[in-house]
Structure 1
């Protein structure tokens, strides 16, 4: 009987070690699952592009990331209805590839009336289908495609990033900081005088209150 009792703690420890080992082995496959493959190249075809433009991440990471940024966020139900075909301008197809296998394709219209537009077709190059949707493109779409080799006219005075049209965002006359410098100094001097007047008024009020309290305490 005593010998059996001595073996009980050892048996409990062995069971605990076995349970911990089993839990560790059960969790290993989930934690060791490889991450999904990331896109490593894009191609651009369309109006005026004689041969498909191929941009690889390893060859030109900056241009690749900029082109991918134009289409990487095109998810959901879309932002706009289908525009008139005559307002779209030239069309360019950006195809995203993973290990040289095409996965997603998007239609870009950098010169569309009212600002760049993007369209996600229902039929995708990997054989899958998605809900077709229209989006307002990024303001930098034209410059990005041009940097990738697409023959587009130069676009100036456009804020990079964001979503919406490609019209001038900042007024030209607002970019002359010296124009209203005299008015700014005048306004600043007026503000300082106003602050000084407020400080003097508060000081007079405090002095009056102190004098009144002193007379009543005598």
Structure 2
């Protein structure tokens, strides 16, 4: 009888262990690194390093300046004398550079964006010029770039076309929400696993007590 109880306990312990491994495995996957943006350019003695955990609004606004670019842009842009100050932004995932763009908020005829063909993540793309959003100058200024304030800037601006930057790197807010959701699911999973283990051990103890009477 004691042997049978021992075998039953071993089987139940194996089932609980398998359940623990099966449930905890997917939840322990590392969350995606939060996005960030580095800015270099005219008037900046050192790069501005913005991260979504500290400046989520600025990171979102800056990524929005390049999130609408299509697959192909104009092969040529304004004359160099008409471009004004240049600011290069690098979009990161964690500390890994993913995309880079040159922004010209004071270009004649409206803001311009230049996308180099060579990207940090080795992604194949075509070089091209694009009309930028009218909010580019104010977005850069509020992020820390030394630009004069514009009072006639309206939200939005030109832009459109097919999105070419991976969706995961263009929506920091969603990435943060996803990370928090994964953390919540992990905590709930741990609680559920503990309850299963506790219930299983209590059942084994009760069964052994009854069998040994």
- The Cα shift of 1:75 comes to 2.9
Q: Of residues 91, 115, 121 in structure 2, which corresponds to 1:120?
A: 115
1:73 aligns with 2:68: yes
- For structure 1, which segment, 68-77 or 105-114, has the greater mean C-alpha deviation from structure 2 after superposition? 68-77
1:62 aligns with 2:57: yes
- Number of the residue aligned with 2:93: 98
1:30-79 deviations in Å (ceiling 9; x for gaps): xx9x8x94751010001111111011111011111111111122231125
- Structure 1 unaligned segments of length 5 or more: list them: 1-31, 165-218
1:135 aligns with 2:130: yes
- Number of the residue aligned with 2:80: 85
The answer (yes or no) to whether the contact 1:39–1:96 under 8 Å persists in 2 is no
User: Structure 2: how far apart are the matches of 1:75 and 1:103?
Assistant: 17
- Over the aligned positions, Cα root-mean-square deviation in angstroms equals 2.4
The answer (yes or no) to whether the contact 2:71–2:125 under 8 Å persists in 1 is no
User: Structure 1: how far apart are the matches of 2:91 and 2:73?
Assistant: 19
TM norm structure 2: 0.57
1:150 aligns with 2:163: no
- The Cα shift of 1:162 comes to 1.6
User: Structure 2: how far apart are the matches of 1:94 and 1:52?
Assistant: 10
Count of matched residue positions in the alignment of Structure 1 and Structure 2: 133
TM norm structure 1: 0.56
- SS in structure 2 of the partner of residue 71 of structure 1: coil
User: Structure 1: how far apart are the matches of 2:34 and 2:70?
Assistant: 16
The answer (yes or no) to whether the contact 1:43–1:94 under 8 Å persists in 2 is yes
User: Structure 1: how far apart are the matches of 2:75 and 2:148?
Assistant: 26
User: Structure 2: how far apart are the matches of 1:124 and 1:103?
Assistant: 7
